[in-house]
Structures are given as C-alpha cells and as structure tokens.
Structure 1
Amino acid sequence: MSTLKFDGNAHQISLVDSEGKTVGTWAAYNNVDSQATIRHVLNGIYHVQDRVAPHPHQALANGPYGLHGIIRFNVPGHPGIGVHSGRANARHLPGPQHPTMGCIRTSDDAMSAISNVMRHDALTTIEVTNNSAVVAHQASKRNLHADLRGRTRG
C-alpha cells in the first residue's frame, strides 16, 4: 500500500510506494482561500477515500481540479478535502500555489504519476507534517519551488 507525504514547510508532496521507495516528489501547497471554512490541513495521518483512482472531475488543466481529478482524504468536519492539481495558467499564483478551499494543490504531472501508481499499489494514507496556518499563508507570498514541478526521483 502506498502513501503520500505532504511537508507544508517545504511545499512538497512525495509518493512512497508499498516497498518504501520514494516514487516522486513535487511542489505542493496548502494555500487556502480566505473564504474557506478551514485555514489549513492539520498535521497528522489521514485515511484516503479514493484508493485506486482519483475521484473524477472534468479534466481541464486550468479547471479547479486539473486533468486527473481529486484524491480525497478524511479531514474531520471538512468533507471533500483532498489532493489535486488545476489552475495551471491562472493569472494570480498559477499551478500548485493557486489557493484552494482547503485542499493541497500540486501539478498535473504529480497527479498523473500518483494516479498511475494507485492503479496497482493502492493509496491508503496521506501524512501531513510541518503545516500551519502561517506556513499555508506564506505560500502565497513566494515561489521557491518552480524547479520541483514535474521532478521525479527513482
């Protein structure tokens, strides 16, 4: 069973397969819109609802969920929180940095790689570390990880 690891301070999400190997690491942000009912995802381990394929949405790189849908996980009191891409060419903070309603946003490349692994190695958990309201808010003020978009390690 595979797992996602999101580091809020590093603004990175990694996919670790059932053998403990890091499949890839990509830029990801929990940059939450001020209108959302959640300020950030608290540190912890969450169970994934969509274990073998992301929950589908209209596939649009510039849409709210990107090309590959959303991988939802159980955040108490906040149904529908997940990991997705989207807003690739938004005028304000395009791609992973674009604000969400509480979700963690990454790139289409990341979601594609994660989706491919999920098909044969079910995704069971996401571990959130080093995430805070301050870290999430600061994400909108800098762009330190453009070089991580699409980078994988094998």
Structure 2
Amino acid sequence: MSKIIFNGATHQITLVDSSGNNISTWAAYNNVDSHATLTHIQNGTYIFQDRVHPHRHHSATADTTDGPYGMYGIFRFSVPNHPGIGLHSGRAHARHAPGPQHATMGCIRTSDDAIAAVIKMASTSPLTTIQVIGNTGRAAQAATKRNHHQSLQGRHYG
C-alpha cells in the first residue's frame, strides 16, 4: 500500500511506496480560498476514499489541464466535517497563481504530472493515507488573506 506525504512548509507532496521508499516529490499547495469552509487542512493522517482511481467530475471543464481538478480528477480523503477534500491538479494556466499555487476550496493542488504518477502507483499499490505535516494555520491564513485580497480585485479561484 502506498501513501502521500504533504509538507505545507515546503509546499511539496511525496509519493511513498509500500516499502517506505520515496518515489518522487512535486510542488503542492493548500492555498485555500477565503470562501471555503475551512482555512487549511490540519496536520495529521487522513484515510483516502479513492484508493485506486481518482474520482472524476463530469462537466464541460472537467478533464483538462485548466479544469478545476486537472486532467485526472481528485483523490478524495476523509477530513472530518469537510466532505470532498482531496488531492488534485488543475488551473495550470490560470491568470493568477497558475498550477499548484492556485487557490482551492480546501484541497491540496499539485500538477498533472504528479497525479499521473500517483495513478500509476495506485494501480498496483492502492493509496492508504495522506500525512499532512508542517501545514500551520499561520501559513494557511496568510495564503487565504492573499487570495481574498486578490478575489476582491475581480479574480476567480476554484
């Protein structure tokens, strides 16, 4: 069984195989929009709901590098009182803070390359958990304030 480690201080996710080996690391952020129902994902270990395949949303903007969840969908994990939180890509060419830095409604955003690698690993070694470390409220609040200020200037996140 494989797992993900998200480090909010370094803004990286690491894919870890069933033997505990670090497979690769990619940029990832938990930049939360000020309209979201949580400010950031608390440090802790969360269980993946989508263990082998990401959840896919079917809409006109789904399944594109610029869609809200990127090319491959979202690997959801259980955050108490916040359904639908997960790991995904998307917004690769957004006008403001493109790619992993683009704000979400609470999720961790990374790149399509990272999600593709997670999918490949999960197909033979299902995901078990995501461990969130170094994701302090202070850093998340600073990102949220920055995102709110920019949304007041007419920019959209999601």
Q: TM-score scaled to structure 2, two decimals?
A: 0.86
Unaligned runs of 5+ in 1: 143-154
Query: Which consecutive residues of structure 2, in runs of 5 or more, have no partner in the other structure?
Result: 147-158
Change (3 A) 1:141 1:90: farther
Matched, 1:76 2:80: yes
Contact 1:29 1:136 in 2 (8 A): no
> What is the count of residue pairs matched by the alignment?
142
The percentage of aligned residue pairs carrying the same residue is 60
Distance between the aligned counterparts of 2:144 and 2:68, measured in 1? 17
- Contact 1:14-1:22 within 8 A present in 2 as well: yes
Residue 136 of structure 1: aligned partner? 140
Whether the 8 Å CA contact 1:5–1:14 is kept in 2: the answer is: yes
Q: Which residue of 1 aligns with 2:67?
A: 63
Give the direction of change, closer, same or farther, for the CA distance of 1:140–1:109 in structure 2 (3 Å limit).
farther
| Rg larger in structure | 2
Cα distance in 1 between the residues matched to 2:31 and 2:107? 8
Distance 1:141 1:95, change over 3 A: farther
Match of residue 18 from structure 2: 18
Runs of 4+ in 1 over 6 A off after TM superposition: none
Maintained 8 Å contact 1:85/1:95: yes
When the two structures are superposed, what TM-score results if normalisation uses the length of structure 1?
A: 0.88
| Per-residue CA distance 1:100-149 (angstroms, 9 max, x = gap) | 0000000000000001100000000000001022222445799xxxxxxx
